[in-house]
Chain A
Amino acid sequence: MSNAEIIGQDPGWVIALKGVLIFAVCVFLTIMSVWGERRLVARMQQRSGPNRVGKFGLLQALVDGVKLALKEDLIPKSADRIVFVIAPIISTTACFMAFAVIPLTGPVNFFGHETVMQMTDLSVGVLYVLAIASVGVYGIVLAGWSSGSTYPLLGGLRSSAQVISYEIAMGLSLVAVFIYAGSMSTSEIVAAQDQWWYAVILFPSFVIYAISMVGETNRAPFDLAEAEGELVGGFHTEYSSLKFALFFLSEYVNIIAVSALATTLFLGGYRALPGLGFTEQWLGGWFTLVWFFIKVLGFFFVFVWLRGTLPRLRYDQFMKFGWKVLIPFSLAWILVVSTLRVMSQKEAPPALIATFIFSIALIYVAVATLLDRRKVAKEKVARNINSLEPDFPVPAIPNTRVEQING
């Protein structure tokens, strides 16, 4: 039985309970990830991070939430009140909705009922996730626009431009997965990865997805929309209290959501690591949940690692990277993948496939060399400009310190 059929047999109470459970898990994970991120980044900076509320500061996010809730809820005079209130709700709702199609476990015994931890199994599940993510952008745009203030407007525009640009690269990176899995349903994509993860066979796609998911979630080093030094807080500058908390929540739910999608599409979802397949039967199938969260948290760690390591990109460089590198590269990659796929389906001779791969490699090397040469030429020009003698006298540059002291 496929996941869709299993889910189709769910009685109402199972569906309701699953919805509540998935929501609860999301919220819990978000709260814990706020704490986890702060602790991890702190360790990367040789600090200890929040450690005062509860054991290891575990309750920090909870306390932060209470603090936010108790703050004064301001709505600026020039804000569009209705949109201002709706925007964070859109933002939060959208990122929770993405979880509806993510399969968290394999078949499990759910209070005596055989089911899978997945709300629904659409045949176009991944497209649904992309669509929902686009709806989430409305939250950001409307928040920036309705604030009636300059910085939020600029921040909102920036992040919407960013999310939309990187969604293209993201969508393109998924095409290869669709081609290989022959399906857009999340559960079938997971099932198709029982031999090899797509992160291995479609490595370039995986890299593109991994980069664009950081851009998509407005996270460092792509957090230009919230560049403190330039735009104060970006689109949520004017927000306070619970409305701000909603944006805060949605940012982290978003991270977990894209990580969950990446896990599902590239890392075999809830399936165990290679060679550990027997663990999938443990706890009546519930152990697959552990595998799923291990992978998601792995992605989360990378998010934090990026934030701890990389400086923020300049906006134009960021857009240039998205449009001039990621998108053309993924287009070319899709061409290669689809050709290979058709070849293997038509049972082309191995020699032909080898020739194809070889020629692609050649083209890649040629293009890379050409680009490299252009760069070197550019640097040469820059060097020539540097070495021009100035037409005014300059003092000698002392070669050694000894000379400086004696002379």
Chain B
Amino acid sequence: MDNELTPRSDEFGLAKADQSKAPITNHESASFGKQLLGFWVTFKTMFKKVNTVQYPEVKEPTAPRFHGRHQLNRHPDGLEKCIGCELCAWACPADAIYVEGADNKEGERFSPGERYGKVYQINYLRCIFCGLCIEACPTRALTMTNEYELADSSRGKLIFEKDDLLGPLRAGMVPPPHPMYPNTDDSNYYKGEVTTSHPSQGIAKND
């Protein structure tokens, strides 16, 4: 280590010498012609393609992982993934999420397992779109979409309820509440073994 250090202390002097030899590059020594180059830059730019996006008419897609409005996802049979654990609410640094969990009852089941999110609110006046709630979610129930047009005319409208946040029912899904897929338990759901609904769960959405 000592040997490695010695040449460096020599370099100390070298570096200083180099520095004093370096040409002065302050703005005053730039030639007049060089200063005029700036005019060429602005002139040239006039004929370049304009960068502006004509926003309301033209909407460019966001980056694929853009943090937009949240969405509460569903299992393939239509049951909600949210189990009302409130981890998202606890993770939220802006205190924007409010969750009330409740027990699934026989005959009124919203999610596999014991609990479901009965009340789920996200206050978009507080949300900072950091995505910590998504990281906290143990069932991947909460994810973010790319939707960013969230302006509205009143404060109340910007508190999104569970209905606003729930993902749409896709083909093959049955609107909850309905029982779990026959002969499965919640761990089958989490392992992704339930891929569609069963006629015994209810009438599935077609299209």
Contact = CB atoms under 8 A, between A and B. Distances in A.
Interface of A: 40, 42-48, 51, 305, 308-310, 375, 379, 382-383, 386-387, 389, 394, 396-397, 399, 407
Among A46, A375, A379, the one with the most B-chain Cβ atoms within 10 Å of its Cβ is A46
Contacts of B60: none
A46 B24 contact: no
B52 A397 contact: no
Contacts of B28: 375, 379
Given A43-B50, A48-B50, A379-B24, A309 B41 contact: yes
Given A379-B24, A382-B24, A43 B46 contact: yes
- Chain B binding surface SS class: helix
A397 B28 CA distance: 26
Interface of B: 4, 8-9, 11-12, 15-16, 19-20, 24, 28-29, 38-39, 41-43, 45-46, 48-52, 54
Given A43-B50, A46-B50, A309-B39, A383 B15 contact: no
Contacts of A309: 38-39, 41-42
19 contacts: A43-B45, A43-B50, A44-B43, A47-B52, A48-B50, A48-B54, A305-B42, A309-B41, A379-B29, A382-B24, A383-B20, A386-B24, A387-B19, A387-B20, A389-B16, A396-B9, A396-B12, A399-B11, A407-B8
A379 B54 CA distance: 50
B18 to A, nearest CB: 8
A308 B24 CA distance: 28
Contacts of A399: 11, 15
Nearest to B29: A379
A379 B42 CA distance: 31
Nearest to B40: A309
Contacts of A387: 19-20
Contacts of B12: 394, 396
A219 B73 CA distance: 58
A396 B4 CA distance: 14
A407 B4 contact: yes
Contacts of B8: 396, 407
B14 to A, nearest CB: 8
A42 B11 CA distance: 50
Nearest to B9: A396
Contacts of A51: 54
A43 B54 CA distance: 15
Q: What 3 A-B pairs are tightest by C-beta distance, nearest first?
A: A387-B20, A44-B42, A43-B46
